[in-house]
Structure 1
Amino acid sequence: MLIGELARLTGVSPRALRHYEDQGLLVPVRTTGGYRDYSDDDIVRVAQIRAMIAAGMGTSLIRRYLDCARSGDHGVSLEMCPDLRAELDSLAQRLSARRAEIRQREQQLRRLAQVR
């Protein structure tokens, strides 16, 4: 299938699909005319990529662990490949620290906004 059809089926823009290819996350074959030709497996792969991005993983991290992604009846999950647990724990810690920073800034804003 061509990029437009994959985009329609996955809800991802052709630009994003090209970005995934540039990052080594998708590897379509090329037709003799030079067009990208995607398989049905790429539909699943795009869903896995989107789920990992939504969880806060960057493309370099996704590239390292994309083979650990599994798709099933309950959506996308990650098989705990070597080193993946440590990466996910590190990501969770960074997110927690960011939430704490946001809470602190909200408190500072409330103090600044108090009428005296």
Structure 2
Amino acid sequence: MELLSDQGLRLDGRKSDELRRLRCRLGAFSWSADGSAYLEMGNTKVLAAVYGPREPRGGSSGDNSNKEEAILNVQFSSAAFSTAERKQRQRGDKRSLEMAAHLKVRIYIYITNINTFLYQNDA
């Protein structure tokens, strides 16, 4: 299968160095989430929602937990039609847990870099 036509175009009409159109909408879950976004590029569609921050379970009375730390809970799910295996995945299946763990690491790295940048002159 040829990736480029004789004119140097891809199957969808883009040039070899041209990116797909990116669409982004913030506040996609404005009625229930504290923050959310919808991203679309080609056939890839992503919907992300953020809930919190919230008080830790059990409340804060008599709690000696560090107020400077936060717990990040990441959940990942994908539609059954979005993979080569067209089957409905159960919540907490191995692939979803691995993807959530991968995303969690990336988010921690991102947050750490932001904090390092914001507070670089405080040391």
Q: Same fold (TM over 0.5)?
A: no
Q: Which has the higher helix share?
A: 1
Q: TM-score, normalised by structure 1?
A: 0.31
Q: Which has the larger radius of gyration?
A: 2
The structure with the largest strand share of the pair is 2
